[in-house]
Amino acid sequence: MSPDRLSTTFAALSDPTRRAILARLASGETSVTELAEPFEMSLPAVSKHLKVLERAGLISRGREAQWRPCRLDAKPLKEVANWMEQYRRFWNESFDRLDAYLYEVQSAPKKGKKHGRK
């Protein structure tokens, strides 16, 4: 995923209302009116949030003029999950190496051939 796309996804996810909307949509598609119900917020305000989510590719909306059901689009979320997975790997492996490095510098003067602990 390009960094710009990731930034767009994160910008969309950085708002608590939008995250709540996505959480709601995870249990199935629904109308804007239904979506707006749990929030103390006007329909236009909810629509604004939906536009941000739609632009980020996190939701898609039906074509029907009146009833435009919103549904969750999982792809960007999966990309976020993969991105986070990469960081987990980055830190886990870096920490393994840091562990080995610290062992090495602390035993350096002896120049012993002991193997690094795991």
Q: Applying CB under 8 A, which residues contact another protein?
A: 2-4, 6-7, 10, 13-16, 19-20, 22-24, 26-27, 72, 74-75, 77-78, 80-81, 84, 87-103, 105-106, 117
Burial class (CB in 10 A: 0-12, 13-18, 19+), 35: buried
Cβ closest to another protein, residue 67 vs residue 115: 115
> How far is C-alpha 103 from the geometric centre of its chain's CA atoms?
36
CB of 65 to another protein, least distance (A): 28
Closer to another protein by Cβ: residue 4 or 64: 4
Nearer to another protein, 43 or 98 (CB): 98
Instruction: Please answer whether residues 72 and 19 qualify as being in contact, where contact means their C-beta atoms are separated by less than 8 angstroms.
Output: no
Evaluate whether 29 touches 67 at the Cβ level (below 8 Å): no
30 forms bridges with which residues in the sheet?
70
CB of 87 to another protein, least distance (A): 5
